[in-house]
Structure 1
Amino acid sequence: MAEHEAINGVPVTEEQIEAWANEAEAGYDVATLKKRGRGRPGRGSEPSQVVALRLTADEMAALDARAAREGKSRSEVLREALSVA
């Protein structure tokens, strides 16, 4: 193995590779792997959609100011604004 092999800046050792190989050869518990979850957590029973929104610099500043003032994300502020409508 080359000396420069690394994951997130941490060198990968021969011992680590051996441990990974042993783990793979022993097999994986599929139920445990499925519990890990991937991506962002859901917001409900149906999949969410990502929507692009164009805002002016002033609108972005107002959105960011409100989000900071209320301790929320931009998305939370926008979703709340839509739920009032």
Structure 2
Amino acid sequence: MSAGETINGVAITDEQIKRWAEEAEAGYDVQALKRRGRGRPGRGAEPSQVVALRLTAEELASIDAAAAREHKTRSELIREALAKYAV
């Protein structure tokens, strides 16, 4: 394993990988996994659609700076800008 691999800041060890592999080989309770839920919470009654967008490094830096100034996420800022433009 490469040095420095972490999950939430905790180093991943070969022993941890071995335990995960053993757990996977033993099988998972699919119904229990379904009850846990998955993914991000919805934003409305219907599922949201992901849209890919290509931006330059400068454009992305500008969006990130504006989002930080306004204490918003990048996605929140982009959605608000699109909503204002599309009116």
- Using the size of structure 2 for normalisation, the TM-score is 0.58
Cα distance in 2 between the residues matched to 1:37 and 1:81: 31
Unmatched runs of 5 consecutive residues or more in structure 2: 1-14, 24-28
**Aligned partners of 2:59 and 2:73: how far apart in 1?**
15
Q: Distance in 2 between matches of 1:81 and 1:63?
A: 10
Match of 2:66 in 1: 66
Give how far 1:6 is off: 2.2
Letter in 2 for 1:57: A
> Which consecutive segments of 4 or more residues in structure 1 shift more than 4 A?
none
Q: Which amino acid aligns with 1:38?
A: R
SS of match in other structure, 2:66: helix
* Alignment RMSD (CA, Å): 3.0
CA apart distance, 1:60:
0.8
The alignment partner of 1:6 has SS state of helix
Residue 6 of structure 1: aligned partner: 19
- 2:47 is paired with a residue whose SS is coil
Q: Percent identity?
A: 62
Bigger-Rg structure (1/2): 1
Give me the whole-angstrom Cα distance separating, in 2, the residues matched to 1:37 and 1:72. 26
CA distance in structure 2 between the aligned counterparts of 1:39 and 1:57, rounded to whole angstroms:
28
Tell me the CA shift for residue 65 of structure 1. Answer: 0.3
Counterparts in 2 of 1:1-85, with a 5 A limit? Answer: 4=15, 5-7=18-20, 34=35, 36-85=36-85
Structure 1 stretches of 5 or more lacking a match?
18-23, 25-29
